[in-house]
Structure 1
Amino acid sequence: MTQIIKNILCFGDSNTWGLNSVTGKRFDENSRWPALLNKNLGPGFNVIEAGQPNRTLVNNPPFDGVLSGVSYLKPYLDTHKLNIIVVALGTNDLKKRFDLTSSAIANGLNDLINAIKAFYQSNSTLKPPQIIVISPAKIRLTEQYARIYSGADVKLKTLSDEFKQIADNQKCEFINLNSVNALAEDGIHFNAQEHEQISYLIANAIKQLMNNF
């Protein structure tokens, strides 16, 4: 009997892409969390890595092209038959230059989920995937990012709760990364240990989700 493969799309920013803040390069497949997630889940799962540095939920970052969530997600929905979408965004929206409240960022998440649902409503032959919302992790305002992320630590205090409320209202799974601190040198990106920890958190959530079907 041919095994049915479950496709999981990990749609996020530089922490999903696997930026190593020490080298400025990308962690390899033995270190970044989406690749580790695939190994932790084992046979029967295919993890599609869709991380992009500077990706946002609300605005298109100046000088970086069109990197907002909605515009870059649709090609993945068109190309892949997805069972689960993991949305791990929101950190870049906390940058001072965007001047967004936590509620505005949460509304961006809500709009992204609505866009996903609208896509599948217009494609009745496709079964809508389950959505897992990942809240941004805590950050440290190091000298490198203190000006860029000024005030972000305050907004983060309410952002996780607002993300959870959106996830509950939209009947999505929710994983709170508030317990995970960004220990890497720059205070924003994950180190290898955190990538491993996050991969297990998400793998456990996905296994539980699959058990409920």
Structure 2
Amino acid sequence: MIKNILCFGDSNTWGLNPQTGKRFDESIRWSALLATKLGSAFKVIEAGQPNRTLVNHPPFNGLVSGVSYLKPYLEKYSLDVIIITLGTNDLKKRFNLAPVQIAQGLDDLIGDIKYFYGVSNHPKIIVLAPAYVECVGAYKHVYEGSEHKNHLMSEHFKRVALNKGALFFDLQSVVSVSLIDGVHICSKEHSKVADVVFKIMSKDIVLA
């Protein structure tokens, strides 16, 4: 029986190329690479959306660009694993959010996933804290001040994941954003993300 893996994230899951502003193809996007690594017994559902947030569109309510768009995936697919890669867009200066507030959005999202399925019958959840934003390039002023929030946000994400029984990995330990725009990851970093997720699943989730 094919296992369904949902990759739910923002533009770095969607695969935005920092050099061109367009989308990387399937040979580069980390979620597509993960599908290749996992093989035919798995279906990887790529659900990246530029500008997606954790806080400003409450779970299951609001615009397509917010976390509300998760619910249709839960309804459509019988999911075995949900990989959450969000938080970067919440660091934008205009939102003026503290790291603990962003982490509360993650807590709420995981809570709503569990409520949807029933607390004891939900898919495995993997939380990937995003690569740290650098205040350079095209988005320098958009993310002004985020360099003081990056580390704390990841620490709070780790706490939330542990409290909610989710697996956690901080992408900052292996991935760096492009200095072209300070937000998006280049092709070689996508490969690193795919490797990380595959190793997590191989170690902590039954792949057979």
TM-score interval, smaller chain: over 0.9
Distance 1:38 1:212, change over 3 A: closer
* One-letter identity of the residue aligned with 1:39: T
Distance 1:181 1:199, change over 3 A: same
* One-letter identity of the residue aligned with 2:65: L
Q: How far 1:136 sits from its partner (Å)? A: 1.3
Q: How does 1:1-213 map to 2 (within 5 A)?
A: 4-60=1-57, 65-69=63-67, 71-121=68-118, 127-179=121-173, 180-183=175-178, 185-211=180-206
Q: How far 1:66 sits from its partner (Å)? A: 4.4
1:84–1:130 Cα contact (<8 Å) kept: yes
Question: Per-residue displacement from partner, 1:26-84 (whole Å, max 9, x unpaired)?
Answer: 00000000000101122311100000000000004xxx944221x11000000000000
- Distance of 1:35 and 1:27 partners within structure 2: 10
> What is the TM-score when the length of structure 2 is the normalising length?
0.93
- Distance of 2:160 and 2:180 partners within structure 1: 31
Q: Report SS of the residue matched to 2:137.
A: coil
2:14–2:29 Cα contact (<8 Å) kept: yes
Show structure 2 runs of 5+ residues with no match: none
Q: How far 1:184 sits from its partner (Å)? A: 5.0
- Distance of 2:95 and 2:201 partners within structure 1: 33
Q: Give % identity.
A: 50
1:11–1:85 Cα contact (<8 Å) kept: yes
* One-letter identity of the residue aligned with 1:21: P
Residues paired across the two proteins, number:
204
Q: How far 1:24 sits from its partner (Å)? A: 1.2
The 4+ residue runs of structure 1 with deviation greater than 6 A are: none
1:184–1:190 Cα contact (<8 Å) kept: no
Show structure 1 runs of 5+ residues with no match: none
